[in-house]
Amino acid sequence: MTGPGTRERVVVVGAGMAAVRLAELLVAGGRHEVVLLGDEPHAPYNRILLSAVLEGTHDPAALAMRLPDGVDLRLGTRVVDVHRAEREVELADRSRVPYDRLVLATGSIPTLPPIRGLVRVDGRLDERVHAFRSLEDCRRLDAAVPGARRAVVVGGGLLGLQVARALAVRGLATEVVEGGEHLLRSQVGPAAGSVLARGLRRLGTNVYTGARAVRLVDEGPTCRLRLDNGHTLETDLVVLTAGGRPSTSLARRAGLEVRRGVVVDEHLRTSDERVSAIGDCAQRGDRTTGFVPPAWEQAGVLARHLRGEDATYDGSRVVARLRATDLDVAVLGDPTTAEGEVVEVTNPVVGSHRRLVVRGGRIVAGTLVGDLSRIGLITQHYDRGTVLGPTEPGHLLMPDRVTAAEPAVLPDDAEVCSCAGVSAGAVRACASLDEVRATTRATTGCGGCSDAVRQLLRTRTTQLEGTPR
Amino acid sequence: MSPTSVAGTRTHCPYCSLQCGMTLERVGRALEVQPWPEFPANEGALCRKGWTATGLHGHRERLTTPLVRDRATGALRAAGWDEALDLVAGGLRAVQEAHGRDAVAVFGGGGLTNEKAYQLGKLARVALRTSQVDYNGRWCMSSAASAGNQAFGIDRGLPFPLADVEQADVVVLVGSNLAETMPPAARHLDRLRERGGRVVVVDPRRTPTADRADVFVQPVPGTDLPIALGLLHLLDAAGAVDEEYVATRTTGYDAVRRSVAAWWPERVERVSGVPAAQLRELADLLAGSERVMVLTARGAEQHSQGTATVLAWIDVALALGMPGKVGAGYGCLTGQGNGQGGREHGQKADQLPGYRMIDDPAARAHVAGVWGVDPDSLPGPGRSAYELLDTLGTDDGARALLVLGSNLVVSAPNATHVTERLAALDLLVVADIVMSETAALADVVLPVTQWAEETGTMTNLEGRVVLREQAVAPPEGVRSDLEVMAGLSERLGSPVPFSTDPAEVFAELGRASAGGRADYAGITYDRIRAGHGVFWPCPDTDHPGTPRLFADAFATPDGRARFVAVDHVGAAEQPDAAYPLHLTTGRVLAQYQSGAQTRRVRDLPDDGPFVELHPLLAERIGARDGEPVVVTTRRGELKAPARVVTTIRPDTVFVPFHWVGANRLTNDALDPSSRMPEFKACSCAVRA
């Protein structure tokens, strides 16, 4: 810690969602000076909604995230080196920024699949080829949509499916190419993947699984993407969504321990105790995450740790949700590897597949495709570790019990008017609505029973008339 | 029954904030309730509580003599009024002499008339000169009050007549079960739907109100706030925000816009248990409607983040450009009969009459002038209701307590603890009409007049000041609260007299409120009698009153409404392994508040408390409908029959709070701004 009266200076490399959250929490704590160094030219925005912007359901201006007053935000600033001994970071313009604590929140970078012809001779992507990671990528693709009729999305993961649906909603004939044997292969099993593929096809999007794109041939007005299964897809646009990896080059160059991501301990510290890492770039145990909620949880833990409080991160429960029109998917935890008993309902006719993995009565993982009607309860049970009864997981996958139709004839003791506490029998004992009102006061409160009372009076009349005298 | 009878006395129901108009007629020795069809809030309709309201007239449990606790036996014994009042005044004085003025506290209620609430605040500040005065309204709508003041610069539950509901295209009820808690109000919803309008109900239980809704949203208790944030997110994303309104009539939207960028629908779904798809449908419905009205009630407000929750829903209404438009806007459905007026005239710890703040020198000077005392003699702000009770009998807190119109043992949160605090007092004085659970603990019990035996005004949920006229003579031996206060003030050597005549007190209240935010100066009993009440503010006798606020400007210094950016923190207590379920509390149709009145009315069913739970949960714990289950929280335990219903979330149980027990379970975490306790969400365990 620095001396009393001075605030510790926390420099965050990155201005994405994890960085913004951390800044918010540190500023609220009032004990830190916070500097955010973002390499994108835009003020912080909600990255996970980019596909909604592409789809047209989200105004791009609505993505801007709130950054509290007092944060020193420097945009378009690329950090090229960390000088740990001097506790400084070096920027592209060779200037240096000193820190007391450094936080790497560099996120992930898209990986380019090995497709010949993707990169032009000058080293840039073919102009028909798009990545989809940043607001800039989104704008560029958005601008290309009006001039295109067909699109191919390479990658059948969450992002790929969101982009594919967005392009289809925008009116493009869209195809998805997934190298694995089924869609969402890192999240769900083959059954869910195939239900999902059928759902997509029903929405008019072709899906090729177990197929790798190997070559792109640009032919002027259009281009052709050749797959290793012999198909060739003609298209106007190619969007690469196949995978990203933690952005670790800065950490690596700084000599910090890096495996898949920047290795951190339970306090989110790297191998240098003055340097932490959070979000997509960090690796805790053998896990990296690609989702916002765990990144925010890490930001919370780190903020408390930096304030000197005892806080540790031991991995988060993840609920991955696909955000795409007419494609309903939720994945709880890791249903492909979680151990436990499996309760599963698949209905290919309506395109739904739901699977819960239950251990010791607790839902430890789950897949919901095509039917999210009970998601509001299932995720609560999952997040809270509720111990369920033996029949509950099954019930959770059944539709809501249909309420039995009201009996044709209300028994005399059934309450008709709760405002006045009047039974069907008491109403039947009256000759007219006026009499009902005067003697029982039914219908004189909220008025909700008026129809029922009229109905009872009508049937009473019919019964009387039908009675032989 | 003659529907247009004018022979009787026109008055208003003794219970909730709707203050239904009714006529009382003498039939022999009995007193009968008849409709008053012209009164607009209820148009002659009444629920069974209203129809049976005279059930306490001549009731055998009515207290008719003061009671004092006998030193020798420890039991209460009958005493004369002079003896009782001398004892009280002497006791209060002794406590103040030994421990200072603030060692005496005064606790009022949202059921007291404006005259009594006003007089009680004056008694505290002038005769006792204690800062320690607050009331149970703090546990009613204080979160909405705090939010209204922040957003609009004024706190009037509904800034429009209730019947305006019928003109809306969409009404969103957040945490209100009005079909059971104020049934005649539901008629306005039905008329709205007959016109083609839609009703949205947000509630963890599918209540009879939700049965009338077109859209029913069923969140986890304590998550109404993120639902509002999610709606703001979607409205902004869809370009559905009324930018012109935002630009010309509000400030602060930009911060809200940026803060809700973090509340996309799937995140809201994870937190609230409301499917993202439903949130999107709701946002589309609001975005496509000309007139949207958002109404909150206790379900949204009785939380440790109740103020923030209301602010977020106000933000929704403002973003849509609604407040100030007829048939649209935001309103709070107040709960208690005089929940509105009770908070305007000085029984709140930080306020003086007319909704003036007690730390404002100009306000102090004005009110002290009306009272005829030196402004410097007035105490400053005191503790809020729960904090006042929480410190009773401690070195720091009050050692004597005077309670009017409140049954704390049943209605306070964490009630076991509050009961212990009451027991630690040197002197507890309770004025009531029957031996309530709280009166039973008192050292002195003062029997007072009830509704229909006295005259006074109430301000209903619309901000409409109505008159309850005396219809019958009180029983021998009882005195009005005003008489009790006059008797005490005299014995305490008050520098100024306290009137016992309601009309005189009301006129004085009008002068004290003049120029304040809740200005009653132009309201008289005769003006109320001549019409259907008068809406405040009404600064002079030529002023027609103000049925609708905000048409041209808000009550802020610059006339603009304030957007306030808030975030979701969640209920103070979250389910864990030991207490895995959510507990929420509320009311049933046939009972009212702590039940001190309604449980004694013969014609109202009193089946005792019950525990509502879902069949999935019932099966899990082996509970059966009608058989007892035990609910436990970190604070207490309740055993009551299970009611197994499909209308509640399976992760939530519900207990009504009209009986001793429910509030032994509830959490006393407070809202930082309104000091509202978290009645509506804590964690619990249930076993069969």
Other C-beta atoms lying within 10 Å of the C-beta of residue A191: 16
pLDDT at A400: 61
Q: Is A8 exposed, middle or buried (0-12, 13-18, 19+ CB in 10 A)?
A: middle
Interval B191-214 mean pLDDT? 96
Angle at A219 between CA A218 and CA A224, to 5 degrees: 60
Interchain pair B589, A418: CB under 8 A: yes
- Which whole-number Å values give the CA distances from A30 to A19, A26, A304, B356, B572, in the listed order? 17, 7, 12, 34, 23
Whether B275 and A446 lie within 8 Å, measured CB to CB: no
* Predicted confidence band of residue B30 (pLDDT cuts 50, 70, 90): confident
Beta-bridged to residue B205, according to DSSP, are B648
Instruction: State chain A's mean pLDDT as an integer.
Output: 91
How far apart are the C-alpha atoms of B592 and A367, rounded to whole Å? 46
Instruction: With CA atoms as reference, report the closest residue to B221 among B651, B666, B668.
Output: B651
CB B458 within 8 A of CB B341: yes
3-state secondary structure of B356: strand
Q: What is the pLDDT of residues A350-375, one digit of tens each?
A: 899 999 999 999 999 999 999 999 99
C-beta neighbour count of A414 within 10 angstroms: 14
Q: Between chains, do B237 and A379 touch, taking CB under 8 Å as contact?
A: no
Provide the pLDDT for residue A222: 84
Q: What is the pTM of this model?
A: 0.94
Percent pLDDT > 70 in chain B is: 99
Cβ neighbours of residue B598 under 8 Å, at least 6 residues apart? Answer: B15, B49, B590, B591, B592, B604, B606, B658
Q: What is the mean pLDDT of residues A91-101?
A: 96
Listed residue (B473, B469, B474, B471) closest to B456, CA to CA: B469
Residue A243: predicted pLDDT: 75
DSSP element (H, E) containing A330: strand A329-332
Q: What's the rounded Cα separation, in Å, for the pair B536 and B518?
A: 6
Contact criterion met (CB below 8 Å) for B528 and B10: no
Q: Could you tell me the sign of the dihedral formed by the alpha carbons of B566, B568, B570, B572, in that order?
A: negative
Cβ of B237 and A58 within 8 Å?
Answer: yes
> If you classify domain B67-140+338-535 with CATH, what class do you get?
alpha beta
- The CATH label, of 1.20.120.350, 3.40.50.300, 3.40.50.10440, 3.40.228.10, for the domain at B143-333 is 3.40.228.10
Nearest residue in B to A378, CA atom:
B273
Nearest CA-CA distance, residue B141 and chain A, Å: 23
Quick check: B186 and A45 CB within 8 A?
no
- B275 and A392 within 8 Å at the Cβ level: the answer is no
CA distances from A436 to A432, A460, B601 (A): 6, 13, 22
Residues of B in contact with A377 (CB under 8 A): 273, 649-651
Residue A244: predicted pLDDT: 83
A418 to chain B, any CB pair closer than 8 A? The answer is: yes
Q: Judging by DSSP bridges, how do beta strands B628-632 and B682-687 pair with one another? A: antiparallel
B251/chain A closest Cα distance in angstroms: 16
Q: Which of A379, A445, A447 lies closest to B270 in CB terms?
A: A379
Kindly report the nearest CA distance between residue B53 and chain A, in angstroms.
Answer: 12
Class of domain B9-56: alpha beta
Q: What is the mean pLDDT of residues A164-169?
A: 96
Distance (Å) of CA A355 to CA A8, A30, A378: 48, 45, 11
Domain ranges of chain B: 9-56, 67-140+338-535, 143-333, 581-687
What is the per-residue pLDDT for B491?
98
**A438 contacts in B (CB within 8 Å)?**
1
Q: Which residues of A touch B619 (CB under 8 A)?
A: 389, 391-392
Which of chain B's residues have a Cβ under 8 Å away from the Cβ of A45? 261
Which CATH number describes the domain made up of B581-687? 2.40.40.20
> What 8-state DSSP symbol labels residue B54?
G
CA dist B53 and B598 (Å) reads: 8
List of domains in chain A = 8-108+245-306 (3.50.50.60), 129-242 (3.50.50.60), 328-396 (3.30.390.30), 415-466 (1.10.10.1100)
3-state secondary structure (DSSP) of residue A13: strand
Q: What is the pLDDT of residues B401-444, one digit of tens each?
A: 999 999 999 999 999 999 999 999 999 999 999 999 999 999 99
Q: Which of A91-100, A261-270, A420-429, B207-216 has the lowest mean pLDDT?
A: A420-429
Position B177, amino acid: N
CA of A379 to nearest chain B CA: how many angstroms apart? Answer: 7
Of B47, B255, B261, the CB nearest to A46: B261
Size of interface A-B (CB pairs under 8 A): 144
The ipTM estimated for the assembled molecules is 0.91
Using the beta-carbon criterion (under 8 Å), do B236 and A438 form an inter-chain contact?
no
> Which residues on A lie below 8 Å from B218 (Cβ)?
376
Q: How confident is the model at residue A68 (pLDDT cuts 50, 70, 90)?
A: confident
B260 to chain A: nearest residue by CA? A65
Please tell me the distance from the alpha carbon of residue B135 to that of residue B108, in angstroms, as a whole number. Answer: 4
Which residues on B lie below 8 Å from A399 (Cβ)?
none
- What is the rounded CA–CA span in Å between residue A11 and residue A36? 6
User: Chain A, 26-45: which have a CB under 8 Å from a chain B CB?
Assistant: 45
pLDDT in tens, B258-281: 999 999 999 999 999 999 999 999
The percent of residues in chain B predicted with pLDDT above 90, rounded, is 94
Query: Using a CB-CB distance cutoff of 8 angstroms, which residues of chain B are in contact with residue A447?
Result: 45, 184, 186-187, 190
CA distance B261 to chain A (A): 5
**Is B237's CB within 8 Å of A420's CB?**
no
Nearest CA in chain B to A63: B261
Q: Is A338 on the interface with B (CB under 8 A)?
A: no
Place A3 in a pLDDT band, splitting at 50, 70 and 90.
very low
Tell me the residues of chain A between 48 and 77 that have a Cβ less than 8 Å away from chain B: 48-49, 52, 57-59, 62-67
* Residues B557-567, mean pLDDT to the nearest whole number: 97
